[in-house]
Amino acid sequence: MTDAHHDEAGLLAAVTRYERALMADDLAVLDELFAPGPATLRAEGTGVLVGADHIAAFRAARGGAPTRWLRRVHVRWTGPDDAHVVAESERAQGAGVQTQWWHRDEAGSWRVHAAHVSGGPVDPRPDPAAADDPATWRLRGAPLVAGAGTGPLQGVRIAVKDLVAVAGQRVGGGVPAWLEQAPVEQAHAPALQRLLDAGAEVAGIAQTDELAFSLMGVNEHSGTPVNPRAPGRVPGGSSSGSAAAVAAGTADLGLGTDTAGSLRVPGSFCGLYAWRPTHGAVPVEGVLPLAQDVDTVGLLARDGATLRRGAAVLLGAETGSSRPEALLRSRFLTGLADPSTALAVEAALAALSVATGLPVREVDVPADAPAAWTAAFRTVQAAQAWANHGAFVEAHPGALSPSVEARFRAGAAVGADELAAAREVVARTRAWLDGLLTRGWLCLPSTSTPAPSREAGPEGFEAARAGTLQLTTLASQCGVPALGLPWGRVGELPVGLCVLAPRGADADLLGLLEALGPA
């Protein structure tokens, strides 16, 4: 029942070959991949075809299958040579599910012995409370800032995180006391300016967690934005309002920041594509800092194509097409997530393998490494955050909620030796990851759980944050780009698969999205 010792690579390669043949209506390959003989089964809707010949005749007569993109491939091994595979796909219209029993014959060839297909239109059912949620936006316009009128992002509506300078507005930082003392910005932040120049417009300024120092999307001042994809759940943060607005459809791109996961986490919780760039690849000028060593400015979108177009504008470069040799997966790292999340992310990873044709390779992560890199990151982050905002915190007692204030104050206590030791761990982690990423792109859960309940309370939020930081701070401290794919599902709750590429490989990483449709 475990796949540790099974031919995962061979099975996924066969599924890949099947999907490509299906999209190409390559009857010879499809017939080859179904087991010959009278016992093979194919079910759809209300009926079952029995026998390879009947299935082949049906296939020859139908003239191709609807285009589909796999999003989750659940693999359950039923024996050394048998796997039960349930694949979920998006279609141009709607979605579908296929169940396949694959068997490896004595010659080593994987073939389908039974299949069951279903599908139909999908009702995305975003929470209706989301569209006009006052906790999502600090300021909206129609638009708030017009774009260049033409360009690759023409008509794309941006939800700007309230850390990013919008000319003529103040930066609020998710803290009323900060907003009060903030100057009116004279210019757009350069990252925003690039998007506007490319035709995008600012729909409004979206809420953020207090000074971006939180991952849950809970803000005691402005409230917790509605998570349109997970009613009753937090949206994740700190780019909480941007994520909620994009998920609700009131914006198309979320412009936010990611220090410890502030794009990847709300992307995971709200079911969005998320991109944290290589550290330094997108200008952070005009953006309120949290911890400059690890701060980045990136994007959220409902679909991969919009994310890719927005990212190309921010990078000033078209997305690339270089591919790694493999997708790397550490079962240990994936297992840091809760069991349901780990299974969901495994299913998303298998779908990514099928969609890209890249094999999944298991890699080793030292058992004590995640705790060490997380602690080192938190030390560096806290020290820098205190250096940035300690004076404000001291000058405005009570301006921050107690849990956020405690995080800042932890930075005050970091000594020089402690900081140096932490930077040492960061340097070792970078060297280790750089080596690993020469072998492929590392895939891991974006978060350790799906979105917690809004009622989880401080301990619940802290547990989710602590579990997630072990996963998110690896990319953060190593400065590598990370792409969050919103394909996992725990019940109906989305959860992200995160792909880490070498530093500077943003264009190639985003180029992955081209194979993943819809365009």
Per CB under 8 A, does 48 bind a second copy?
yes
Return the range that interacts with a second copy (CB under 8 A); candidates 219-227, 341-349, 367-375, 403-411. Answer: 341-349
Q: How many CA atoms lie within 13 A of 362 on its CB side?
A: 12
Of residues 342-361, which lie at the interface with a second copy (CB under 8 A)?
343-344, 347
99 forms part of the interface with a second copy (CB under 8 A):
yes
- Pick from 13, 23, 29, 50 the residue near a second copy by CB under 8 A: 50
Cβ 336 to a second copy shortest distance, Å: 15
Q: How far is the CB of 464 from a second copy (least distance, A)?
A: 18
| Distant-in-sequence, close-in-space partners of 83: CB < 8 Å, separation ≥ 6 | 3, 6, 11, 75, 76, 77, 101, 102
List the catalytic residues. Answer: 161, 238, 262
Shortest distance, CB of residue 96 to a second copy, whole angstroms?
6
Nearest to 71 by CA among 344, 443, 333: 344
The two tokens of residue 449 are 């759980």
Q: Which of residues 490-509 bind a second copy (CB under 8 A)?
A: 490-491
Nearer to a second copy by Cβ, of 321 and 453: the residue is 453
- Least Cβ distance, residue 345 to a second copy (angstroms): 11
Contacts of 249 (CB under 8 A, 6+ apart): 126, 131, 228, 302
Q: Is residue 20 close enough to count as binding a second copy by CB under 8 A?
A: no
Pick between residue 200 and residue 497 the one whose CB is nearest to a second copy. Answer: 497
- Per DSSP bridges, beta strands 110-120 and 41-44 are parallel
Residue 108 engages a second copy in binding (rule: CB under 8 A): no
Strands (E) located in 153-229: 157-161, 201-206
Contact at 8 Å (CB) between 21 and 118?
no
Under the binding rule (CB under 8 A), the answer on residue 116 touching a second copy is yes
At how many degrees (to 10) do helices 457-478 and 369-395 cross? 110
Query: What single-letter amino acid sits at 479?
Result: G
The answer to the question of residue 57 lying near a second copy (CB under 8 A) is yes
Among 31, 32, 44, 185, the residue binding a second copy under the rule CB under 8 A is 44
| Among 66, 78, 129, 439, interactor with a second copy by CB under 8 A | 78
Shortest gap between Cβ of 33 and a second copy (angstroms)?
17
Report if residue 298 touches a second copy, rule: CB under 8 A. Answer: no
Nearer to a second copy by Cβ, of 33 and 291: the residue is: 33
Q: Per-residue DSSP letters for 260-272? A: SSTTHHHHHHHT-
| End-to-end CA, the chain | 37
Among 6, 20, 103, 361, binds a second copy (CB under 8 A): 103
Sign of CA dihedral 487, 490, 494, 497: negative
Minimum distance from residue 5 beta carbon to a second copy (Å): 15
Gap between the Cα atoms of 229 and 217, Å rounded? 14
401: nearest Cα among 226, 218, 235, 236: 218
Residue span binding a second copy (CB under 8 A) among the ranges 113-121, 262-270, 383-391, 463-471: 113-121
Using CB under 8 A as the binding rule, whether residue 372 contacts a second copy is answered as no
The helix (run of H) or strand (run of E) holding residue 299 is: strand 297-301
| Residue 65 near a second copy by CB under 8 A | no
> By C-alpha distance, which of 105, 423, 381, 429 is closest to 262?
381
Give the binding site for a second copy (CB under 8 A).
Answer: 1, 38-39, 41, 43-51, 54, 57, 72, 74, 76, 78-79, 82, 84, 86, 88, 94-97, 99, 101, 103, 113-114, 116-122, 339-340, 343-344, 347, 489-491
